[in-house]
Amino acid sequence: MEQAQRHLDSWPKLFLSAIVLAEATTAAANPMGIRDPSDYIWSTYISGHQVQFGIPETDERWLWLICDDHGNLTLGGPAGQLENDIRIAVSFSFGATHESEEDAGQTEERGDGTNFSVAVTPDSPVLKALLKDDAVTVSIGGRRWMVPGKGAGAEIRPLVSACTSGRK
């Protein structure tokens, strides 16, 4: 009986150790410190203006695409601990051949903290990859994370069409 009690007493320590290990593993796989993507999907955040990979109807996102009032497209996402309002290099890799594209970007303060933003066009390789539902790996400030492409094309295509049609 005493041995069984000692086993039960050690259970919370084992459980806590498992949680700490899981958090450390998630942090290593997710260097931006952003949440696990299991609840994330590609969705329209603001019709005709913004789509994102994140939790629908929230600012919790890994990547977003915005069409401004002048028909310009901007791709962005969390910039972690980078300073606000600085020029940065953002790399995207995608596709079976791991094609990559590097763009000059900018950090900016948004409602969810510091984000990066990069001007893109409908012909940008990274946008073409997302339109084909390809996953995209984002690299910024020595950090990288993979954004699943499943469902991206269905959400992005109407935004790009509206943005380039002059309806903005």
**Is 54 within 8 Å of 40 (Cβ atoms)?**
yes
Q: What is the CATH number of the domain that holds 150?
A: 2.60.40
Residues 58-108 pLDDT 10s: 888 899 999 999 999 999 998 888 887 778 888 888 887 777 888 888 888
Does 6 reside within a domain? no
Q: Is the pTM of this model over 0.85?
A: no
The residue range of the domain holding 156 is 40-164
Q: Report how many domains make up the chain.
A: 1
Q: Does a structural domain hold residue 126?
A: yes
Strand order in the sheet with 143-147: 41-46, 50-54, 61-67, 73-78, 113-120, 99-110, 87-94, 136-140, 143-147
Residue 11 in this model has a pLDDT that exceeds 80: no
